[in-house]
A and B are shown apart, each in its own frame.
Chain A
Amino acid sequence: DAKTTQPNSMESNEEEPVHLPCNHSTISGTDYIHWYRQLPSQGPEYVIHGLTSNVNNRMASLAIAEDRKSSTLILHRATLRDAAVYYCILSNYGQNFVFGPGTRLSVLP
């Protein structure tokens, strides 16, 4: 299964932008990049996904490098509620998700 590498933890101040990086140097041309997050004591929830182009939704933006070997999840204004573990996952046809340890984001008031 395709692998991703993320920093173990990051900190941000409330109402500031947060850039969460993910490296996926072995990505294939048909792998989608998914981001999920897990709030404390909850199941993971979908954040955003993309293939080649940058993507925006109401929760976040996803910036994908031109060579697709890395991507960045952007939270435009972090709130205390955004404190969670963020997972970057590659997915291809018929493949199951493989979760790494993710990045634990702390948001400081």
Chain B
Amino acid sequence: NAGVTQTPKFQVLKTGQSMTLQCAQDMNHEYMSWYRQDPGMGLRLIHYSVGAGITDQGEVPNGYNVSRSTTEDFPLRLLSAAPSQTSVYFCASSYSGTHSAETQYFGPGTRLLVL
């Protein structure tokens, strides 16, 4: 299994541009999520999904959209990039997201720089 994969690894955008960060998992996990991590800080939840067709907002959803058309993929869209969205983005998945003891699996991250 490849686990959780993310593309691209690094991206530079200009203010106002839009882009999609890709996330895929091959573990048949129902739960997927997106986090951002700013320098020296912990991860903050952007959006999450408990299954195909179901998404919900996390702690910092503004400026981001998500959709979940398949179990495997959970893309994150930046609608109009701003310098404040410069960060490292991590995608994660777990079996169902409902059981307290579930392990979350994280991707390697996408480093985004918005100029």
| Residue total for A at the interface (Cβ-Cβ under 8 A) | 25
B-contacting residues of A (Cβ < 8 Å)?
A: 30-32, 36, 41-46, 49, 51, 87, 91-102
Q: Report whether over half of chain B's contact residues are helix, strand or loop; otherwise say mixed.
A: loop
Sample of 24 A–B contacts (CB below 8 Å) = A32-B100, A32-B101, A36-B104, A41-B109, A42-B108, A42-B109, A43-B4, A43-B92, A43-B107, A44-B43, A45-B106, A46-B103, A87-B42, A91-B102, A92-B100, A93-B99, A94-B98, A96-B33, A96-B45, A96-B58, A96-B97, A98-B45, A99-B44, A101-B40
| Residue total for B at the interface (Cβ-Cβ under 8 A) | 26
Pair B98/A44 contact, Cβ less than 8 Å: no
Chain B residue at smallest Cβ distance from A92? B100
